[in-house]
Chains A and B, each alone.
Chain A
Amino acid sequence: MVDWPVVAAIVLTIVTASTPLLLAALGEVVAERSGVLNLGVEGMMAIGAVSGFAATHATGSTFAGVIASAIGGMILAVPFAVLVINLSVNQVATGLSLTLFGLGASAMIGDKYVGVPGIKLPQLHIPGLSDIPFIGPVLFGQDGLVYFSVVLTIAIGWFLTRSRGGLVLRAVGDNHDSAHNLGLSVLGVRWAAVLFGGACAGLGGGYLSLGYTPLWTENMTAGRGWIAVALVVFASWRPARVLVGAYLFGAVTILGFHAQGMGLAIPSQFISALPYLATVVVLVIISGNKAMLRANTPACLGKPFVPTR
């Protein structure tokens, strides 16, 4: 006997848990495909979360909150872009400090929002369709950002492989010298990619403080930015695999909780570590295979570009 309403509720929980990872990881895919490794995702998510909460609190509109969270993440990406793209500062170190800065700054901005109940993103309700058992709540009863994240996955997949812009982006990420010699603006493309990554991470953070748990507290991202970074590697820089990976990571956590509730003896510590373990395994598989390594990893990832002229 399958209890369909319960299965639907579980699927809904998984989608909610996965969406912030998906949004943030999609942005990171674009940034890394252009050759920029941004380890500041956690910080940009935190800023996105607090911006979204603050804007919703001020205006009463979750839509304004969603927009503000994207803008917040993007703003935090600006100093990062200046440092690593224009001044060729080490990307790893700058990204790490961006995370620290973002977490600290978000705590400061969010000081007065601690203990204030938030407003939840409204869920779609289409009369008739949303009431169909199982399919209704899963397909027609989510909030807007969930649908947006799926559309964004498809759009980025199309952009990277089917559009001229995507070709330029990948060229910049794979060989910035050649791209430069072809007359492409390496710095311009990377700026755009980093800003886009910031906006996506901000949205992921906004989903936390508006959709997932409508509240603000310091450190509420709780390491999700790092899972998103790991997810990009796990997905070998492909948007469709990012989507699968995000849902897989979400599902593992949620099903782990259900297993506990049903009294199955799966160590919960193991479940908590699983996303990282999975990433390590994928890294081992990728790095053991030179062809795969070449095919997937942007060749200029993490390397600064200094135009000769």
Chain B
Amino acid sequence: MRSILMVTVAAAALAMGATGSFAADKLKVGFVYVGPHNDGGFSERHDIGRQDVEKAFGDKVETNYVESVAEGPDAERVIERLARQGDKLIFTTSFGFMDATLNTAKRFPNVKFEHATGFKTAKNMGVYNARFYEGRYVAGVIAGKMTKTNVIGYLGSFPIPEVVQGIDAFTMGARSVNPNVKTKVVWVNTWFDPGKEADGAKALFDQGIDVLMQHTDSPAPLQVAAQRGGFGFGEANDMIKFAPKNQLSAVIDNWGPYYVKATQSVLDGTWKSEAVWGGFDSGMVQMAPFTNMPDDVAKVAQETVDKIKSHQLNPFAGPIKKQDGSVAVAEGQTLSDKDLTGLNWYVEGVEGDLPK
């Protein structure tokens, strides 16, 4: 409800701004965020991408954004408002904006739309996502080297393929350097609830893990890792401030390079609708500095990043065994992107059952 109010106010403000300034020669680029632009995580990373666009193009481009937009009917109104006020390229940065973006794209054939993390496209609507599991594989390598108990933890938000990719990649990364490692998983059923995230993290540490990977948005699990003298990884952002002695690294969402590229192609008139899924190689995924670990571990981590970047290593290349020991991907084969986007099984080394 609050976000509806904020959106209304923001939309009104944008409308007034639009009537006040007519800079026809500038390309206007709009962004729609699901959270506040300074949420310290997901939406903030998109806003940093927007600032990269401003820096890269200076006077040639004008950006604007609407924040805290609820996923649902309001999103469509906001996106349409941006299109009406003259934005020629609009990034909608949350999965739940998919249908709203598609509907608006049909009504504004001259406007280019880019939707993050979805799967529907149109002639004037592209989709982009990042292979965050590559970063989680590297985190797994670090965890496998750092664990003393050989039990590492994973704090999951919702049991959807994207999160399962992370759990599997993390576990395979760890077992590539330490075959005795087991991963314990706790689901908190929220992307963002610092208290619950902390509780889930405490439960994992109480059960004997010593390195924690999280796929929820707040720094609370990392703080718990620090309190318990264990290690953790930042989520989306470098969160080293919250655990200066206990953050090993972080998988950073880095949308800037993609936003700059898409903006450039619209300026050049070469933009076309694509489904982009970039990893380390595209710059969309980055690792925060490797901290609080011996030099040799940092070295192995960096080598892993380089190998993935140069496509010598694919986290989902066979042989991969499922939890029950059956072969999921044979040697010499690689899990296809289609299978990855529907991933619903744990690899060997993950404990517990995946909620259905």
Contacts and interface: CB of A to CB of B under 8 A. Distances in A.
Interface of A: 6, 9-10, 13, 16-17, 20, 100, 103-104, 107, 111, 114-117, 120, 208, 212-215, 217-220, 222-224, 253-254, 257-258, 260-263, 265, 267-269, 272
B218 A219 contact: no
Interface stretch (B55-63, B84-92, B263-271, B347-355): B347-355
Contacts of B35: 218
A261 B204 contact: yes
Given A222-B195, A258-B203, A267-B355, 20 more contacts: A17-B195, A17-B199, A117-B242, A212-B194, A213-B195, A213-B218, A214-B223, A217-B39, A220-B195, A220-B218, A254-B199, A254-B202, A257-B203, A260-B187, A260-B203, A263-B351, A263-B352, A265-B353, A269-B355, A272-B189
B50 to A, nearest CB: 17
A217 B2 contact: no
Contacts of B353: 263, 265
A213 B194 contact: yes
Contacts, number: 120
Nearest to A96: B1
Contacts of B194: 208, 212-213, 215, 217, 220, 222
B316 to A, nearest CB: 24
A91 B256 CA distance: 48
B196 interface: yes
A269 to B, nearest CB: 6
A257 B220 contact: no
A13 B206 contact: yes
A9 B227 CA distance: 12
Contact of A260 (B6, B38, B185): B185
A213 B203 contact: no
Interface string B235-258: 001000110000000000000000
Given A103-B2, A115-B40, A260 B352 contact: yes
With most chain B CB atoms within 10 A of its CB, the pick from A20, A116, A223, A260 is A260
A245 to B, nearest CB: 17
Contacts of A215: 194, 218-220, 223, 242
Interface in B198-223: 198-200, 202-204, 206-207, 218-220, 223
A251 B160 CA distance: 27
Contacts of A265: 353
Contacts of A257: 186, 188, 199-200, 203-204
Nearest to B352: A263
Nearest to A105: B2
A222 B193 contact: yes
B5 interface: yes
A13 B199 contact: yes
Interface string B59-87: 00000000000000000000000000000
A253 B196 contact: yes
B187 to A, nearest CB: 4
Contacts of B5: 100, 104
Interface centre among A6, A100, A217, A223 (most CB of B within 10 A): A217
Contacts of B188: 257, 268
A280 to B, nearest CB: 19
Nearest to A266: B355
A63 B27 CA distance: 52
A117 B198 contact: no
B190 A222 contact: yes
A20 B198 CA distance: 14
Contacts of B200: 257
A261 B186 contact: yes
5 contacts: A218-B36, A257-B204, A260-B203, A261-B206, A263-B353
Nearest to A254: B199
Contact of B38 (A13, A114, A224): A114
A13 B202 contact: yes
Contact of A13 (B186, B203, B237, B352): B203
A116 B207 CA distance: 29
B192 interface: yes
B145 interface: no
A9 B207 CA distance: 10
Query: In the complex, which of the residues B35, B200, B206 has the most CB atoms of chain A within 10 Å of its own CB atom?
Result: B206
Contacts of A268: 187-189, 355
B112 interface: no
Contacts of A263: 351-353
B175 interface: no
A9 to B, nearest CB: 5
Nearest to A43: B2
Nearest to A7: B206
B184 interface: yes
A10 B35 CA distance: 33
Contacts of A213: 194-195, 197-198, 218, 220, 223
A98 to B, nearest CB: 12
Given A215-B223, A265-B353, A272-B189, A114 B2 contact: no
Given A17-B199, A263-B351, A217 B1 contact: no
Contacts of A212: 194-195, 198
Contacts of B198: 212-213
A271 B199 CA distance: 13
A69 B94 CA distance: 34
Given A100-B1, A213-B198, A222 B192 contact: yes
**Nearest 4 A/B pairs, CB to CB:** A257-B203, A222-B193, A263-B352, A213-B194
